[in-house]
Structure 1
């Protein structure tokens, strides 16, 4: 047991520190007094040696979980081009509202992404996801964005239902306004194996955003859970 914790500290922790260095805006951001809760359900509908088809849904509770601020649906198709390289496409339907009214604004988002990943050791995996997305906003202007996610995952054994720990950061860039506008820093995620087909991930996230022309970042703290099921 002590050897396992030593390997975890020796490999995962230094790599996570390097990962967080890419997220300095979040670490310096000002808290915006909002704690949010995200719930995700993901269904792996089909997977073979070449293809993976999933359907995910998510709800986001804002303002200390006082109201439903957004809900999303995300069907995704991925092609396993190489053992270390996947490509995919996603259509994302999102309804989001502000805290000043009951009406939702609808977004249609189209993604193309590439996802390289490497097994650094028997237990430690490093993955990336680079997304080019087109946001079609109803009753507003459409625009292009990109998202760049960097993640570490460390596999655990003989820890009961806890099978992995992870960390990640994801940067968002708006090509219409030519600025970096969001970062999602996850310092720790915990993955539990509930059954042979079902897993539950719990995570904490610092979601930092800044408006066009502003230098300061505003951060909301997010507590999330993601339930996945593989058919």
Structure 2
């Protein structure tokens, strides 16, 4: 456990070392995620995420992500999916991005109380009007610990680190792309529904001035 925490802190420190100046913004992200279990091994996930910027006053993006997963073992799953991202530019107009991705998900109990999840993702990103493809790697680690204060309430921490694998003509630069760190709680309503609520810090590496977003993040998960 100590080694895990040290690695997370080092990754976080590295992300903040890229820029001397940053632009900050308050944002709101709402995620709706639904799992449909076909059987004990196969499941389909439907994911929708609208995002707002400028303290939540302006619509920023909406993301649609359908995917399918196969359970190789009780703790290990693999899968893949498609993503469509519509972004409203502050300068006017929209961009349309399409992605394919592949996941490896490992989840287990580190102790009787601490739940651990690791997700490793490769993405192939296509921007409308551009011919080149941007490849990106994303690594997420998540910890959840029951609070024992309220039945069904857990403290949650996760960190996601993004690395661009190549350059692309539409503003993608090889190397560190961004980091997302979340601190909040998860409430289990019942076996079919739970919700994350908390603060997410998004630090985005840019060639000139970097971006730091302070995000109120709410995720509602359902499954059947």
Q: Work out whether residues 44 and 230 of structure 1, in 8 Å CA contact, stay in contact via their aligned partners in 2.
A: yes
Mean Cα displacement is larger for which, 24-33 or 141-150? 24-33
Structure 1 Cα separation of the partners of residues 218 and 159 of structure 2: 17
- The alpha-carbon distance between structure 1 residues 191 and 22, as it changes in their structure 2 partners (threshold 3 A), is same
Task: Report the counterpart of residue 200 of structure 2 in structure 1.
Answer: 205
Task: Report the counterpart of residue 133 of structure 1 in structure 2.
Answer: 123
- When normalised by structure 2's length, the TM-score is 0.86
Aligned pairs, number: 215
Q: Work out whether residues 111 and 133 of structure 1, in 8 Å CA contact, stay in contact via their aligned partners in 2.
A: yes
- The aligned runs of 1:87-102 (5 Å cut-off) are 87-101=78-92
CA shift, 1:106, in A, is 0.7
Tell me whether 1:223 sits opposite 2:222 in the alignment. no
CA shift, 1:36, in A, is 0.6
Q: Work out whether residues 24 and 211 of structure 2, in 8 Å CA contact, stay in contact via their aligned partners in 1.
A: no
Task: Report the counterpart of residue 179 of structure 2 in structure 1.
Answer: 183
Higher share in helix: 1
Which of residues 5, 8, 13 in structure 2 aligns to 1:19?
8
Structure 2 Cα separation of the partners of residues 68 and 150 of structure 1: 28
Name stretches of at least 5 consecutive residues in structure 2 with no aligned partner.
168-173
- When normalised by structure 1's length, the TM-score is 0.84
Task: Report the counterpart of residue 6 of structure 1 in structure 2.
Answer: none
Name stretches of at least 5 consecutive residues in structure 1 with no aligned partner.
1-10
Q: Over the residues paired in the alignment, what is the CA RMSD in angstroms?
A: 2.2
CA shift, 1:16, in A, is 4.9
